[in-house]
Amino acid sequence: MTAKETKQDQRILTYGQAINEALDQEMARDQSVFVMGEDIAIYGGAYSVTKGLWEKYGDERIRDTGISEGAIVGAGIGAAMTGMRPVVEIMYVDFMTLVMDQLCNQAAKLRYMFGGKIKVPLTIRTEGGAGRTLGAHHSQSLESWFMHIPGIKVVMPATPYDAKGLLLSSIRDDNTVVYIEHKMLYNTKGPVPEGEYTIPIGKAEVKRPGKDVSVFTYSRQLLFCQEAAEELANEGIDVEIVDLRTLLPLDVETIVESVRKTNRAVIVEEDTITGGSGAEIGMRIVEEAFDYLDAPVKRVAGADVPMPKSAALESLAIPSKQSIIKGIREVLQ
């Protein structure tokens, strides 16, 4: 089944269930696929995403590891170089700081440095974002770091349907993919076909067509953007929402096409505004669609602060429906 064959015989799954099903189907299809990480086997993962897989596939293919993120990714790189397709889980994206040498200097570079004679088909599943008041060590959005690493891909699905299709594509890709899930999406629900299907990495999707302003977003912020668009529709403001889905490679063609249509652009991201993903997206718009803009590009982003533990402060540190509406109004003035 392809990504276009989507509307028949669909069931409703949670985001977490969709990821679990993708892992299950790909492990059943390809014996070279295995999963390893902290507490993913008997316990089923910190957010129960791998629940039930250990009972089905056993210790060889669902491997609990020690508490060493560097060792987990290092072992994954070695396995990928020698013919396996490992999926490694780093419990929180905050802990990706401990694997930056393996990721930046090894996984991202080896295929290039060996002239394509080896591949590193490694998928690194991790989760990020705020919303559970877990404090500054467990609530960051670090995706813009990984956008700066040539040789890898960065995937951030927002819906259960996209989560399954993009994970299957990530596992089958011959390059290293950083696949970032949002902790507040695991229990969200949506239609997911039972069969196998893939979604191309590097292809955005217009989730809501509109004519007045383009909103570019990804991951959990898609939900807030949709809420904002519904509210503004009551006032006659027609918002187009583009879910980027992949940050590296970035679908500049779809971004530019949307700006040419609406002549206004708002970028909504949960990561911090300084050096965030929106800076790159906004600059691409300026470089390739400047003549179509009727207003400056607007960013609605996270605050430049360590993520607060307080629920009230945490909600102020990331975009909300109201801050998105405010940003859209500003470019329409």
Q: Report the catalytic residues.
A: 69, 138
Return the biggest CA–CA distance within the chain: 60
Residue carrying structure tokens 């927002």: 158
In 3-state terms, the chain is what percent helix, strand and coil (to 5)?
A: 40, 20, 40
Instruction: Answer yes or no: are the C-beta atoms of 302 and 272 closer than 8 Å.
Output: yes
Q: Using CA of residue 186, residue 187, residue 188, residue 189, what is the dihedral sign?
A: positive
List CB contacts of 15: < 8 A, sequence separation 6 or more: 159, 160, 163, 181, 185, 186, 187, 188, 189, 190
Instruction: Answer yes or no: are the C-beta atoms of 121 and 173 closer than 8 Å.
Output: yes
Q: Supply the DSSP string of 48-90, one letter for each residue.
A: STTTTHHHHHHHHHEEE--S-HHHHHHHHHHHHHTT-EEEEEE
CA–CA gap between residue 96 and residue 158 (Å, rounded): 20
Nearest to 302 by CA among 136, 68, 111, 146: 136
φ and ψ of 29, to 5 deg: -80, -35
DSSP state of 215: E
| Residue 295, phi-psi category: left (phi > 0), alpha (psi -120 to 50), beta (remainder) | beta
Nearest to 141 by CA among 106, 185, 207: 185
List CB contacts of 211: < 8 A, sequence separation 6 or more: 238, 240, 261, 262
Q: Supply the DSSP string of 153-197, one letter for each residue.
A: EEE---SHHHHHHHHHHHHH-SSEEEEEEETTTTT-EEEEESS--
